Chain A
Amino acid sequence: MEITLKLTQLDPSVRAGLALLLRMAKKRTLLCLGILGLFASAIVAHAAETIPPKPDRYFNDYAGVVSPGAAQRFNEQLAQFERETSIQIVVAVFQKMESDSDIADYTRRVAVTWDIGQKLTKNGAALFVFIQDRKMFIQTAHGLEGALPDVTCFDITERNIKPKFRAGDYEGGLTVGIDLMIKAIRGEYKGSGKTVRESESSQSNPAGLLVFFFVLVIILLAIRASRRFGGYRYTGGGGPFVSGSWGSGGGWSSSSSGGGFSGFSGGGGGSGFGGGGAGSSW
Chain B
Amino acid sequence: MNKGLIGCLGIGAIILFIVLVGGCAVAGSYNRLVGLQQKVDQSWAQVQNVYQRRADLIPNLVNTVQGAANFEKSTLTEVTNARASVGRVQIDPNHAPVDAAKLQEFQQAQGQLSNALSRLLVVSERYPELRATQNFQNLQAQLEGTENRISVERGNFNSAVQEYNTAVRTFPTNLFAGMFGFQPRPFFEAQAGAEKPPTVNFNFGSPAPGATAAPTP
Residues of A at under 8 Å CB distance from B?
A: 1-5, 7, 10-11, 13-14, 16-18, 20-25, 27-28, 31, 37-38, 104-105, 108, 149-151, 153-155, 158, 274-278
Contact = CB atoms under 8 A, between A and B. Distances in A.
Given A17-B118, A278-B141, A38 B159 contact: yes
B145 A275 contact: yes
Nearest to A23: B151
Nearest to A159: B134
A148 B181 CA distance: 43
A1 B114 CA distance: 28
B189 A28 contact: yes
Given A24-B151, A37-B162, A151-B142, 14 more contacts: A4-B199, A5-B199, A5-B201, A13-B121, A14-B118, A16-B147, A27-B155, A28-B189, A28-B190, A108-B152, A150-B144, A151-B138, A276-B148, A276-B149
A31 B201 CA distance: 33
Contacts of B159: 38
Contacts of B151: 20, 23-24, 105, 275
Contact of B148 (A4, A5, A108, A158): A108
B142 A150 contact: yes
B92 interface: no
Interface residues of B, number: 44
B204 interface: yes
A27 B154 CA distance: 12
A158 B150 CA distance: 23
13 contacts: A1-B204, A3-B202, A5-B200, A5-B201, A16-B147, A21-B190, A24-B194, A38-B163, A154-B141, A275-B145, A275-B153, A276-B145, A278-B145
A23 B13 CA distance: 57
B58 to A, nearest CB: 15
Contacts of A108: 148, 152
B205 A1 contact: yes
A11 B153 CA distance: 24
Q: Is the interface of A mostly helix, strand, loop or mixed?
A: helix
B200 A10 contact: yes
A25 B194 contact: yes
B77 interface: no
Interface in B126-161: 137-138, 140-155, 158-159
Contact of A14 (B121, B194, B201): B121
A154 B159 CA distance: 30
B152 A14 contact: no
Interface in B188-217: 188-191, 194-195, 197-205
A276 B191 CA distance: 24
B122 interface: yes
A14 B144 CA distance: 9
A102 B158 CA distance: 20
B66 interface: no
A22 B141 contact: no
Contacts of B199: 4-5
A277 B151 CA distance: 14
B200 to A, nearest CB: 5
A189 to B, nearest CB: 21
B133 to A, nearest CB: 13
B97 to A, nearest CB: 18
B203 A2 contact: yes
